[in-house]
Structure 1
Amino acid sequence: MPYARYGETLESVTKQVEGIRDAFGKGLTRTELQQSLPAGAARNAVDCALWDLESKLGEAPTTLCGLKPVATALTIGIDTPDAMGRQAKRLANAPVVKVKLDAGDVEACLRAIRHAAPNPDLIVDPNESWDIKLLQSLQPLLEELRVAFVEQPLPSSEDARLAELVRRVPVCADESCHTSDDLDRLSGLYDIVNIKLDKTGGLTEAFRLLQAAREKKFGIMVGCMISSSLSIVPALQIAMQADYIDLDGPVWLKNDRTGGVSVKDGWMMPPEPGFWGTAEAVPLL
């Protein structure tokens, strides 16, 4: 999914993919792809297609599965407290609910949501809209309402301010974490990192980020942009090893890919066999 936040458009991403067409004709490998395109949506599309191909040819170096149901967060969009409470009531039986917020009516919105949905794990995502003063003042409320963590509360340019935070709930890096190269500067500031394949530029770097983040004792979330099942199933490879999963991108589409994933009451059902990768699991190398 081309993401305007990083200057991507459908046109720019298509141009990037077309730009390496000749290199593929000369045998460009998935390893070489990592240096041929920057991390982003274009490299993600090509990288995941190559994983699919390698898997179907029996050449993939790792498990490509996602063949069991997983609990995925379902999202409540920004609205009035009453409206968000009504959304939450419909999701009261889901295992995980993710709440989009800005800096307005935070307490009223969160209380309405938690009252309507007392049981789900709750993720709060301000999308860079808070400042450190607001984040600090909300710590008692977040703890009281049993918020699992706050995702990217501050602008990524203000990451250093998190060193001032006396936290009662964990903080997750989203826009601040793209690839494994980001982890050193995030250590001590964030507790969790959100791995999105459109940020890592594909499954190859996503696996690297997963391993490096685990070594540095970060919690793992796997997320997505609004996308079809063809983008979600590769991300399920990371989800199998993640602490939190937010892969409801296809839920927001009128039409998804035939044979893809489905979501019922917060549980993501696997795609049909052969949709992407293989149905046969092999050990990680």
Structure 2
Amino acid sequence: MLRGLSIQPRSFPLHSPFRISRGVKTAADVVTVELAQGDCIGRGESVPYARYGESVAAVIAEVESLRDDLCAGMGRDELQARLGPGAARNALDAALWDLESRLMRVSVSSRLAQAPHRPLVTALTVVIDTPQAMEKAAAGIADAGLIKIKVDADDPVARIEAVRRGAPAARLIVDPNESWTIDLLRETQDALVRLKVDLLEQPLPSDADDALRGFTSRIPICADEACHTSSDLSALVGRYQAINIKLDKTGGLTEAWRLLRAAKAQGFEIMVGCMVCSSLGIAPALEIAREAEFIDLDGPLWLASDYPDGVTLQGGMLMPPSPGFWGG
């Protein structure tokens, strides 16, 4: 039986504006959930996303609506049935995983039969700006093993070329965030190959991606907004070659793990991503990241101030949080 549930909004200012095709973010607005049982506290964090009709207030209300059931002992399995995928379920799912592991004194990694955490190569993001500014930003992280380039439909090739000049050796992901058309996708194929782009993430709007059926891309295309849970996979076959698993889309690690296993079985490459969030939002995603071909978990690196025992970037590698930060 829980002895307490705490739900708090929190805003983390960013050190620089985060610009993508649909807008600019200057702070990470999150919802933090804490579940207390005995002397143990489990924590979770989620990022309500307007693209999916979410807000901080609505997510808090969703979590609050389950207070009595949670305090009566509702677990993760029932949570999957009571809440749909999204930020509210993610925050609660993460807090339940954390609490369970602390009560059991068995780490989440061990429960998933995973090895201890190790440093990982994460994508570092270059946001939309002038080509000159993007080249300068890329030069500043040229030693990164993987760079993600945010673009829109306004001369994306010039921006990708600028980043490639700044970082000649890095692997590249290009992310238009649903801003392209199928014609623009066709027009950019030669440039994407010439600039050695490894992955193209969600170029078309998710409700217009039927145009991808029958289109043979020279660069693997990754579903982001088009893929939330394992139930989406069948519709992605023949359109995408990879999927981006984000816990705020799946509604937590429980469904993310199910999606990972199902996607691998169907031959999709795996990318694990995040919203701009703190290390508390990243920690559960690290359980998926071990099995991903592409890792994009630099959200906390955009914060002016993160949890002091959270993830850090050292020598181009994402270092895991301190022991005991989340998940036992």
Give the TM bin, normalised by the shorter chain. over 0.9
Q: Helix, strand or coil: the match of 1:138?
A: helix
Q: Give 1:66 deviation, angstroms.
A: 5.8
Task: Name the counterpart of 1:20.
Answer: 66
- Say if 1:67 and 1:271, in contact at 8 Å, map to a contact too: no
- Say if 1:66 and 1:237, in contact at 8 Å, map to a contact too: no
- Say if 2:214 and 2:238, in contact at 8 Å, map to a contact too: no
Query: What does 1:211-250 align with in structure 2 at a 5 Å threshold?
Result: 211-250=261-300
Task: Name the counterpart of 1:282.
Answer: none
Q: How many residues align?
A: 278
Distance in 2 of aligned mates of 1:20 and 1:82? 50
Task: Name the counterpart of 1:120.
Answer: 170
Task: Name the counterpart of 2:5.
Answer: none
Task: Name the counterpart of 1:144.
Answer: 194
Q: Give 1:164 deviation, angstroms.
A: 3.8
Aligned with residue 7 of structure 1, among 53, 56, 74: 53
Task: Name the counterpart of 1:283.
Answer: none
**In the alignment, is residue 103 of structure 1 matched against residue 149 of structure 2?**
no
Distance in 2 of aligned mates of 1:218 and 1:17? 33
Distance in 1 of aligned mates of 2:127 and 2:200? 15
Task: Name the counterpart of 1:131.
Answer: 181
Task: Name the counterpart of 1:206.
Answer: 256
Distance in 2 of aligned mates of 1:206 and 1:186? 17
Distance in 2 of aligned mates of 1:134 and 1:84? 21
- Say if 1:194 and 1:222, in contact at 8 Å, map to a contact too: yes
Q: Give 1:216 deviation, angstroms.
A: 0.5
Q: Give 1:9 deviation, angstroms.
A: 0.6
Superposition TM-score, scaled by structure 2 size:
0.83
Superposition TM-score, scaled by structure 1 size:
0.95
Q: Give 1:64 deviation, angstroms.
A: 6.9
- Segment drifting more, 214-223 vs 66-75: 66-75
- Say if 1:75 and 1:97, in contact at 8 Å, map to a contact too: yes
Task: Show structure 1 runs of 4+ deviating over 6 A.
Answer: none
Q: Percent same amino acid at aligned positions?
A: 54
TM-aligned CA distance change 1:65 to 1:46, over 3 Å: farther
- Say if 1:127 and 1:153, in contact at 8 Å, map to a contact too: yes
Distance in 1 of aligned mates of 2:161 and 2:184? 17
Task: Name the counterpart of 1:35.
Answer: 81
Distance in 2 of aligned mates of 1:114 and 1:149? 14
Q: Give 1:62 deviation, angstroms.
A: 1.8
**In the alignment, is residue 171 of structure 1 matched against residue 221 of structure 2?**
yes
- CA deviations on 1:49-85 (whole Å, 9 max, x unpaired) are 1111111122664247762100000000101111111
Distance in 2 of aligned mates of 1:63 and 1:99? 34
TM-aligned CA distance change 1:28 to 1:273, over 3 Å: same
- Say if 1:66 and 1:233, in contact at 8 Å, map to a contact too: no
Q: What amino acid sits opposite 1:125 in the alignment?
A: D
Task: Name the counterpart of 1:275.
Answer: 325
- The structure that is strand-richer by fraction is 2
- The structure that is helix-richer by fraction is 1
Q: Give 1:138 deviation, angstroms.
A: 0.7
Q: Helix, strand or coil: the match of 2:213?
A: helix
- Say if 1:91 and 1:265, in contact at 8 Å, map to a contact too: no
Aligned with residue 260 of structure 1, among 304, 307, 310: 310
Distance in 2 of aligned mates of 1:67 and 1:209? 21
Structure 1: gaps of 5 or more residues: 279-285
Higher relative contact order (CA 8 A, sep 6+): 1
Structure 2: gaps of 5 or more residues: 1-46
Query: What does 1:48-59 align with in structure 2 at a 5 Å threshold?
Result: 48-58=94-104
Q: What amino acid sits opposite 2:61 in the alignment?
A: K
- Segment drifting more, 249-258 vs 137-146: 249-258
